[in-house]
Amino acid sequence: MTGKVRLLNFLWIIIFLSTLLSCKVAKNVSTTAVVNSSADTTEIQLSEEERKEFEYLFIEGLKQKSLGNFDDAIKLFSRCLEIDNHSSATLYEIANIHVSKGDYQSSMFLLEKAVSLNPDNQYYRLLLVKVYQQNKLFEKAATQYGSLSALVPENPDFPFYQATMLAMSGKKEEALAFYNLLEQKNGFSEPIALGRQQIYIQLGNKPAAYGEIAKLIQIYPSESRYYGLLADMYLEDKNREKALENYRKILQIDPNDGFVHLSIADYYLEGNDSVKAFEHIKLAFKNTALEFETKAQLYLMLAKPGPNRISDERQYELLHILIDAHVDDERPRAFLVDYFQSTMQMEEARKQIRIVIDMKKDNYQYWERLLLLNNDLQDWPSMDKDSKKAMEYFPDQPLIYILKSVGLLQQKSYGQLLALVDSGLVHLKNDPKIVSQLYTYRAEAFYNLKRFNEAFDVFDKVVELDPENYMAMNNYAYYLSVRGERLGTAEKLSAKVIQSNPENATYLDTYAWVFFKKKDYQLARFYMEIALSKASEESAVLIEHYGDILFYINDKENAIIQWKKSLEKGNPSKILKRKIAEKRYIETKEN
């Protein structure tokens, strides 16, 4: 056995012995386990062989538990219980695993038995209290805290927890009496006052509740928190003047208290005085001691639509105050990006997100926002450059590959696009939908490089990988129809697309064009007119196609009108100009 293995085994033995000692198991663990019941003490005699097996299984159970292999640990601990079903330490370990899994019912039964076997172990009782609270058995929790108080009298917190549990169990009068006993024993204190205050509020005894806080202020007149509690109570009771009076006392004690400025701002917001509220919000936001998270919650509330929404100008002012107050935190500037996007200032938003990324390059969400802004701005060179940098930090993020592919496709950089797809397939091979999308870009690159057979083979692969990639299926059907190839396949593909997307004008245009190429001009006209009616805005391409269909149903005059309309809409096609000039349909050829 190597020194390393010997050391590991030694460490597990130390853990085992420590657990047994902390659990106050009987001194002679090697031969006897002592069980304490309510009336008697039972001894379980273990043979030497059983003792060794128990120790081995228990150590292995602890090992598996520490490694996170909870199911294996439970099996080992269960075998321990088969040897000694009165092992409180084993019951405790199994219960602990159940607690970590959120199974508070099973753990409760195990812990109750462990406590009955070893009533002097405070750790068993502490975990049982947690379980009782999770199961909302507050009276039982109070009883356990009482036992803990007796067991560990030097811990001053247990009596207060006991009183709290009594109150939560509905025994408010009993809890009050308990607090009074604690005061007689230990003297007046904040936990006693605040505990009684909450109970008085629940009982509807407001004068007594106010009285508890008044006592605290009398004893600790410089403690601003108590004035805040008093102010909040007054505000809750609609006594606004008294609330403001106490908030101002806090400012007298501590003029730099950021929280009180927020409280006063809330006071003025409730009173519909937005001007005064905004002044205190600014003071709070300027306070560098006040954490950003607190300010952020208020800012988001003020920026969202609703009765308290502030103007764009005020949002902008607050954001710059936040940026100045938290110069090393990128999040206020990220809020500024949101602001610029919401006000459609995309260039400014992109400028700010670049600063944000310089401050925190390892945040993927920031890079994603930059790439999406490039997409919104249709700035394809920047998309190419920024996505390359983003990939250095996040080589396995699908959206980076998707957006970079879109940029390369728009720039007609088909060779680079094919290389990118190959790289993406290496990194993202386990996500079928992403793989399907990357294959779509490969097919588009092949088609634009006039490698048509390769393009159509890849489109077949796309449809096989993701039968719901409707964009790819639509393009595939359209390209087949343009080339006049496999029109039956094109019709089936297009029919499936519009069945799932009946409102999409582009997809309906493809379906109409497939029928046009099949020389079924009446059906082509039917679906093209539906496409035109569904389009959110007039499309030059759809209008040209409509003219082509009209030409073949002998409505040449209207066909020419549609062609001219398409030209007016900005259609740059040279073939379209020839159609108008020669007053006839001219087919676009794909070589």
Render pLDDT for 253-281 as a digit per residue (tens, 0 to 9).
888 788 889 888 888 888 888 899 999 99
pLDDT in tens, 407-435: 999 999 999 999 999 998 888 877 888 88
41 against 451, higher pLDDT? 451
- Mean pLDDT for the stretch of residues 24-53: 51
Within 10 angstroms of residue 72's Cβ, the number of other Cβ atoms is 15
Do residues 226 and 216 lie in contact, with contact meaning Cβ atoms separated by under 8 Å? yes
384 in a domain, yes or no?
no
Q: Could you tell me which of 345, 343, 347, 348 has the C-alpha nearest to residue 333? A: 348
Q: Which residues lie closer than 8 Å to 165 by C-beta, 6 or more apart?
A: 133, 138, 139, 141, 142, 145
CB-CB contact of 484 with 517 (8 Å): yes
pLDDT of residue 590: 60
Tell whether 103 is covered by a domain: yes
Task: DSSP letter for 45, please.
Answer: E
pLDDT score at 76: 94
Helix (H) or strand (E) holding 43: strand 41-45
Domain assignment present for residue 172? The answer is no
Whether the CB-CB separation of 286 and 256 falls below 8 Å is answered with no
Residues contacting 365, CB < 8 A, separation 6+: none
Single-letter amino acid, residue 277? A
Mean pLDDT of 237-253: 89
Beta bridge partners, 33, equal 44
Give the distance, in angstroms, between the CA of residue 264 and the centroid of all CA atoms in the same chain. 32
In SS3 terms, 314-336 reads as HHHHHHHHHHHHCCCCCHHHHHH
Name 291's Cβ contacts closer than 8 Å, sequence gap at least 6: none
Residue 11 has pLDDT above 50, yes or no: no
Report pLDDT for 21: 33
pLDDT tier at 4, thresholds 50, 70, 90: very low
Q: What is the pLDDT of residue 269?
A: 84
Phi, psi at 45, each rounded to 5°: -85, 125
Question: Per-residue pLDDT averaged across 155-165, rounded?
Answer: 85
> How confident is the prediction for the chain on average, in pLDDT?
87
283-306, pLDDT tens digit by residue? 999 999 899 999 999 999 999 888
Evaluate if residue 30 carries a pLDDT over 60: no
pLDDT score of 323 more than 90: yes
Assess contact for 244 and 234: CB atoms under 8 A.
no
Answer yes or no: is pLDDT of 229 > 70: yes
Q: What confidence category does residue 236 fall into, taking pLDDT thresholds of 50, 70 and 90? A: confident
User: What pLDDT does 175 receive?
Assistant: 84
Helix residue spans in 152-270 (DSSP H):
157-168, 172-186, 190-203, 206-219, 224-236, 240-253, 258-270
pLDDT score recorded for residue 589: 66
Question: Which residues constitute the domain of residue 1?
Answer: 1-135
Is it the case that residue 31 has pLDDT exceeding 50? no
59-68, 262-271, 441-450, 464-473: the lowest-pLDDT one: 262-271
Q: How many CB atoms lie within 10 A of CB 38?
A: 6
- In this model, does residue 363 exceed pLDDT 90? yes
- Asked whether residue 379 is domain-assigned, the answer is no
List, for residues 399-408, the tens digit of each pLDDT value. Answer: 999 999 999 9
Q: Which helix (H) or strand (E) holds 385?
A: helix 380-393
- Cβ–Cβ under 8 Å, residues 356 and 334: yes
Q: Tell me: the pLDDT tens digits for 515-534?
A: 999 999 999 999 999 999 99
Residue 48 is assigned to a structural domain of this protein: yes
| Distance set, CA 284 to CA 70, 267, 292, 325, 389 (Å) | 48, 14, 10, 10, 38
Share of the chain above pLDDT 70, in %: 92
Res 149: pLDDT: 86
Strand, helix or coil for residue 272: coil
Question: How many CA atoms lie within 13 Å of 435's alpha carbon, on the beta-carbon side?
Answer: 14
pLDDT in the model for residue 130: 94
Q: Tell me, what's the pLDDT at 20?
A: 34
pLDDT at 182 (0 to 100): 82
Least Cα distance to 480 among 511, 436, 501 occurs for: 511
Residue 13 belongs to some domain of the structure: yes
Q: Which segment of 9-13, 289-293, 564-568 scores lowest on mean pLDDT?
A: 9-13
pLDDT of residue 458: 96
pTM: 0.65
Give me the pLDDT at residue 133, please. 92
Angle at 370 between CA 369 and CA 374, to 5 degrees: 115
Lookup: tokens for 459: 């489109």
Residue 410 inside a domain? The answer is: no
Residue 32 has phi, psi (to 5 degrees) of -140, 140
What pLDDT does 311 receive? 92
Total domains in the fold of the chain: 1
Question: Which helix (H) or strand (E) element contains residue 32?
Answer: strand 32-36
Residue 60 lies in a domain: yes
Q: What is the pLDDT of residue 588?
A: 77
Average pLDDT on 323-338 reads: 96
Give yes or no for residue 470 having a pLDDT over 70: yes
- Which phi-psi region, left, alpha or beta, contains residue 480 (left: φ > 0; alpha: ψ -120 to 50)? alpha
pLDDT band, very low/low/confident/very high, at 14 (cuts 50, 70, 90): very low
Q: Which amino acid is at 451?
A: R
The residue ranges of DSSP E strands in 46-192, in sequence order, are none
Q: Give the per-residue pLDDT at 171.
A: 86
- Residue 383 pLDDT > 80, yes or no? yes
- Check which CATH number belongs to the domain holding 76 and give it: 1.25.40.10
What sections of 411-486 are H helices per DSSP? Answer: 414-427, 432-448, 452-465, 470-483
